[in-house]
Structure 1
Amino acid sequence: MDVLLHITTPDAAPVAAALGRALSAEGANWGCFLTNDGVTVLNDAGFVDAAKDAERIAVCEHSWDLHMAGQDCPAERGSQTVNSALMAEAGQVVSL
């Protein structure tokens, strides 16, 4: 994976969407790990649309249960171990 977007806040949604679209336009392989209340970016239509081109989207399962309880998760649920593995795979990490 060329770039991992590490999203920790819902305020990152517009920036993450724009960056994801730009990465896809350049042919980069990118993915996201969503944690803390950053998992709520999956409610943002612009981000969800941009994320369709992502190689992998994973959310912290604990954060999902805390901030999005009762909702179906449209992404891979994982632990902070998944976060660490994605960071190890990524050529660059952008923390938002």
Structure 2
Amino acid sequence: MDVLFHITSPDAAPIAAALGRAFSDKGKAWGCFLTNDGVKALVDPAFAAASKNAARVAVCEHSWDLHMAGLDCPVERGSQTINSALMAEAGRVVSL
């Protein structure tokens, strides 16, 4: 994976959506891990659409249960171990 977005705030959704679209347009593999209340970015329509072209999208399951209780998670749920593995796979990490 060329770039991993590490999303910790829902305010990052518009930025991540624009960057994700740009990377996809350039044929770059990208993914993201969402944690803290950054999991709320998944309800942003532009980010949700852009993330469909990501190589991998995962959320911290604890953060999802805390901030999005009762909603079905549209992406992979995982632990911070998944976060670490994604960071190891990424050529670059962008923290948002």
TM-score, normalised to structure 2, is: 0.99
Cα RMSD after superposing both structures = 0.3
**Shift, 1:79, TM fit:** 0.2
Instruction: Name the counterpart of 1:15.
Output: 15
Aligned residues: 96
Structure 1 residue 35 displacement after superposition: 0.1
The answer to whether residue 92 in structure 2 is matched with residue 89 in structure 1 is no
| Residue of structure 2 in register with 1:4 after alignment | 4
The unaligned stretches of length 5 or more in structure 2 are: none
Q: Distance in 2 between matches of 1:49 and 1:61?
A: 21
Deviation for aligned residue 1:48? 0.4
Deviations 1:24-56 (A, max 9, x none): 001000000000000000100000011110000
- Measured in 1, the distance between the counterparts of 2:58 and 2:50 equals 15
**Take 1:52 and 1:70, find their aligned partners in 2: how far apart are those partners?**
22
Name the SS for the 2:46 alignment partner.
helix
AA aligned opposite 2:66: L
Give deviations 1:62-89, integer Å, cap 9, x for gaps: 0000000010000000000000000000
3-state SS of 1:93 partner? strand
Q: Does 1:76 align with 2:76?
A: yes
Tell me the SS of whatever aligns to 1:65: helix
Taking only the aligned residue pairs, the percentage that are identical comes to 76
Match of 1:42, SS? helix
Deviation of 1:61 after TM superposition, in Å, equals 0.1
Task: Tell me the TM-score normalised to structure 1 length.
Answer: 0.99
The residue type equivalent to 2:4 in the other structure is L
Q: Which runs of 4+ in 1 moved over 2 A?
A: none
